[in-house]
Structure 1
Amino acid sequence: MRRRDFIGLVAAAAWSPVAHAQQAQKLPRIGVLLPGTPESFASRTNALLDGLRELGYVEGRTVEIDWKWGQDRVQTFPELAAELVRSKADVIVTGGTAAAQALKSATSTIPVVMAIIGDPVAAGLVGNLARPGGNLTGFSIVAPELGGKRLELLKEIVPGLSAVAVLLNDRNPQSQIELKEMRNAAQAMGLQLYPTGISSDVALDDAFAAIDRTGVQALVVLTDPILFSQRKRTVNLANRHRLPAMYFFQGFVEEGGLISYGPGDADLFRRSAGYVDRILKGAKPADLPIEQPVRFDLFINLNAARILGLTIPESFLLRADKVIE
């Protein structure tokens, strides 16, 4: 055998295990499609990364993560979803009905974990909660009579409450589902609701100006990722317009909002890492039940109450999970 051929054979033998090891070490790929911005969703993404790390997934070392951000523009979701499908993600994490619908339209095979979703059955995303049956699963934030409970809490702290504005995103299907349920509860309580929507043509400032003209005494902000992303502006406008407001997540109250009642959103993102882990290990999303909330936290901000001229009863404060001074 010629010397050059012999060296070539030795080199091939030496390199083949390395090439095999590199092939074997191909990292799983997680796609993430979120409606807002990295800054506005930081608490949620940090919780997701913490949950993944607890299970041995470290970005850049044991898993690749492809982040896609909607930047509060619903119209971008279909293209972002298509990009994640083309990237051949092994599993995709998302939040919000509009983003989940974009992913459902983009793929019927790549597993999708909805870290936060409203009512996925009513939105047409899955057949039922116990056995979703398709490629989507995750965590719902909706429970029976949740809208009614939020109105009841507002009624406790706003004297003589009879008219309530409802702020929603016109392009979010979940908001329409929540509004319908809340209308039924309001009718039973003798409350008048005044829905006011934001959209690409109606900004937050315009929405609050319209609410002012209704003469309502309080406000409920319906679940929406874009309103969550703009929670600081939403809170500031509600306080400026002297509107006691009920929000859907504690992040609003931490930004200076009056009151929130709902499940912990960061915790749901952390828990979604468990579903990602199970899927990467072979579980099918069709067999993973969509979990419903079992715990609801009541947060109240006393500084906001002072700004709004409200006195919160001591009995109410004792029931709160967290009181911000």
Structure 2
Amino acid sequence: MKRREFLAGTGALLVQPGHLHAQGKPRRMGFLGLWADDPTRDPIHAAWLSGLREKGWIEGKNLLVEYRYAPDRLPALAAELVGLTPDVLVAPGPLAVQVLKSVTSTIPIVFVAVADPLGLGLVQSLARPGGNITGVATMVPDDFGAKRLEILRELVPSASKIAILINPNNPMHRLNFGEFLARTAQRLGVTLLTVEATAPDELDVGFASAAAQHADAVLDMGDSLTFFQAPRVVALAAKYHLPTSYLFRRCADLGGLIVYGPDFVDLYRRATGYVDKILRGAKPADLPVEQPTKFALVINLKTAKALGLTVPPSLLVRADHVIE
């Protein structure tokens, strides 16, 4: 090959990093989740794949992805993924990342939607994670849960008992469900009830328990169970005529009364940036944990009407989306 042709070809490769990924050996990613949904109906998964494509990573071509899902077999599946020696592991939610942390301290792990990675001991600090773990948190000030409770009470001013729906297997619920909610409830003159669910069938028991205890409303703390079981949760709220506040936008789209929480589509898209940087050679220890920048208040007026609720103008004016 002539020297001029060689230099021209080398220059072309240098300005086309995506070309290098396409022509090189495919990289491998492990994805450990609790529940799976049809990707064609899941805007979060679609945003995840879109974010990877925008950065030059095409699943099945230059990126091989090993998916594993099962809430009752996470340790075994985590060990299985680590045994495949992937270039990066992805953990949606606190339980998945804790399990992966227990089986590897060397393979890079990117978490998504962990409320408080610092409180769980996943990172040394948000600015300098240290170790092999980093990602996108949903961490906000401690009063975030309290704010959700305030908004629900504003919508249902007569509520004197509010049931908090938690998943005791979710380490973030154990960490965050406590003083800040209790203080707000006391200030509002509200009694808090706790109902639990770790599996789909237990959601039915949880809502039945809330109704039996004469709860006036429900605050879903939100985790992968209630995300993937959103149709069931919304249907149960309607069945028991319980005004319910949710964390995920999809719940309002399915008929849920009110949602206040981070934009999870945005969080997952941003998480692909970590995967991209790690596959290009960056170390998780040097990649600061990012926090949510987009939040949404969504109100379903049709559901409010069915529940006999009048949405205060103070809430309507603050809403980012109103479903009529």
Which of the five TM-score ranges fits, normalised by the shorter chain? 0.7 to 0.9
**Is the deviation greater in 259-268 or in 61-70?**
61-70
1:12 alignment counterpart:
none
Aligned equivalents of 2:200 and 2:181: distance in 1? 25
What are the superposed Cα offsets for residues 26-75 of structure 1, whole Å, 9 maximum, x if unpaired? 111111112111328832221111000001111122211111122xx2x2
Superposition pairs of residues 129-144 of structure 1, within 5 angstroms = 129-144=126-141
Aligned to 2:35: 36
Structure 1 equivalent of residue 289 of structure 2: 290
Q: Report Cα offsets for 1:146-202 as digits up to 9, x if no partner.
A: 011101111111122222100011111111223113223222332211011113597
Cα separation, partners in 2 of 1:240 and 1:202, compared to 1, 3 Å: closer
Q: Distance in 1 between matches of 2:92 and 2:319?
A: 27
2:79 matches 1:78: no
Q: Does 1:92 align with 2:89?
A: yes
**Match for residue 128 of structure 1?**
125
Q: Which residue of 2 aligns with 1:280?
A: 279
Task: Select between 188-197 and 251-260 the one with higher mean Cα deviation.
Answer: 188-197
Residue 167 of structure 1: aligned partner: 165
Residue 130 of structure 1: how far off its partner (Å): 1.7
Deviation at 1:268, TM superposition (A): 0.8
Displacement of 1:248: 0.9
Amino acid at match of 2:80: E
2:145 match: 147
Measure the CA separation in 1 of the matches of 2:211 and 2:31.
38
User: Which residue in the other structure is 2:46 paired with?
Assistant: 46
Does residue 149 of structure 2 align to residue 158 of structure 1? Answer: no
User: Could you say which residue in structure 2 is the equivalent of 1:323?
Assistant: 322
Could you say which structure has the larger radius of gyration?
1
For 1:156, the aligned partner's letter is: E
Equivalent residue pairs, number: 300
Instruction: Give the residue type in structure 1 aligned to 2:78.
Output: A
Partners of 1:250 and 1:301 lie apart in 2 by 11
The answer for the alignment partner of 1:247 in structure 2 is: 246
1:25 to partner: Cα distance: 2.5
Q: Which residue of 2 aligns with 1:222?
A: 221
The one-letter amino acid of 2:48's match is L
8 A Cα contact 1:259 1:300, kept in partner: yes
Runs of 4+ aligned structure 1 residues displaced above 4 Å come to none
8 A contact 2:200–2:229 mirrored in 1 = no
CA contact (8 A) 1:116 1:139 kept: yes
TM-score (norm 2): 0.88
C-alpha contact (below 8 Å) 1:178/1:222 kept by paired residues: no
Equivalent residues in 2 for 1:300-315 (5 A)?
300-315=299-314
Q: Secondary structure at the match of 1:276?
A: helix
Which structure 2 residue ranges, 5 or more long, are not aligned? Answer: 1-19
What is residue 12 of structure 2 aligned with on the other side? none
Q: Distance in 1 between matches of 2:202 and 2:79?
A: 28
Q: Does the 8 Å CA contact 1:38/1:69 hold for their aligned counterparts? A: no
Residues 54-101 of structure 1 show CA distances to partners (whole Å, capped at 9, x for unaligned) of 01111122211111122xx2x211111111111111011121111111
Shift of 1:315: 3.4
Alignment match, 2:59:
59
Asked whether the 8 Å contact 1:111–1:279 carries over to 2, the reply is yes
The whole-number CA distance in structure 2 between the counterparts of 1:270 and 1:33 is 17
| Paired AA for residue 42 in structure 2 | A
